[in-house]
Amino acid sequence: MSLCELRNVKKIYPMGDLEVQALRGVDLTIEKGEFTVIAGPSGSGKSTVLNLIGCLDRPTSGEVLLEDRPVAKMGDTELGALRAARIGFIFQSFNLIPVLTAFENVELALRLAGHHTDNKARVEKALRDVGLGEHFHRRPAQLSGGQQQRVAIARALVKSPALVIADEPTANLDSHNGKAILQLMREMNERDGVTFLFSTHDAMVMEQAKRVVRLVDGAIVDDTRRAPVYAGGAS
Ligand SMILES: Nc1ncnc2c1ncn2[C@@H]1O[C@H](COP(=O)(O)OP(=O)(O)O)[C@@H](O)[C@H]1O
Ligand SMILES: [Mg+2]
């Protein structure tokens, strides 16, 4: 069983009288345990691919399958529940809720995934796992960018999702914090088998990937599996 699959997916965005062909027939299969990067220039369709796989949007044509089930056949309620339980998102701009503490931001994701009791230990473990043992009760504005992205990773991982999708997760971080964040995700992939799918145009992120899928103008032009250059620690 593949984790997710795009079959001849096309996405057209209407733009006034015009249309933007964001994806022109993309075939892509992600298997369990992968650490895959979608690389490509700005506007090549990376976010569109991630949004379709994450079921934040639906394709114009073609099929999206999650764990072998066609997403088009699911209703909004079923799809929302599946998304909340099985997929974790990490965004370039962190997207934390400003009035909630780190703890509350992470706990909210658990609640949305249907967990309403005994959340405290799980949330605290998720925050400790990303190295935020002391900052449970700070709000995003009281945390650095690197710390905010760690909260976002804890939020994505607390529900033990099948797939973590990260759209340019290091783009708003300095290189030291970007490396540390990537290292953390690599450890979670190696140790816990969490499947990650990233987009980036950061060469450092690409070096760490086990598979690089290159997009140009809404089409996949290269798909290579390889041994990653393992940094072995943030320096
Ligand atoms: N909501 C939208 N409405 C109109 N055009 C869009 C929308 N989202 C993306 N696009 C266009 O689709 C193409 C692919 O965008 P995107 O997937 O965001 O690329 P990337 O993430 O690689 O920068 C671009 O030409 C972009 O301008
Ligand atoms: Mg993008």
pLDDT exceeds cutoff 70 at 127:
yes
Query: What is the per-residue pLDDT for 230?
Result: 61
pLDDT digits (tens, 9 = 90+) for 184-234: 889 889 988 899 999 998 888 888 899 999 999 999 999 999 877 665 544
User: Which of 42-46, 79-83, 86-90, 136-140 has the least mean pLDDT?
Assistant: 79-83
CA of 19 relative to ligand 1 center, distance in Å: 11
The residues with which 18 forms a beta bridge, in sequence order, are 15
Tell me the pLDDT of the chain averaged across its residues. Answer: 92
Query: What is the per-residue pLDDT for 205?
Result: 87
Q: Is residue 25 classed exposed, middle or buried when 0-12, 13-18 and 19+ CB atoms within 10 A define those classes?
A: middle
Query: What is the per-residue pLDDT for 69?
Result: 92
Angle of helix 120-129 relative to helix 145-157, nearest 10 degrees? Answer: 130
186-196 burial: b if 16+ Cβ within 10 Å, else e: bebbeeeebbb
Q: Are strands 61-66 and 18-30 parallel, antiparallel or unpaired?
A: unpaired
Q: Atom 6 in ligand 1: which residue has the minimum CA distance? A: 13
How many other CB atoms are there within 10 angstroms of residue 13's CB atom?
13
The residues with which 70 forms a beta bridge, in sequence order, are 65
Rounded to whole angstroms, the Cα distance separating 36 from 20 reads 26
Pocket of ligand 1 (CB under 6 A): 13, 15, 20, 22, 40, 42-48
Query: What is the per-residue pLDDT for 231?
Result: 53
CA of 82 relative to ligand 1 center, distance in Å: 25
Query: What is the per-residue pLDDT for 202?
Result: 86
Ligand 1 atom with minimal separation from the 14 CA: 4
Q: Which ligand is nearest to the CA of 46?
A: 1
Q: Atom 18 in ligand 1: which residue has the minimum CA distance? A: 47
What are the structural domains, with CATH classification, of the chain? 33-55+76-222 (3.40.50.300)
- The answer to whether 63 and 70 have CB atoms below 8 angstroms apart is yes
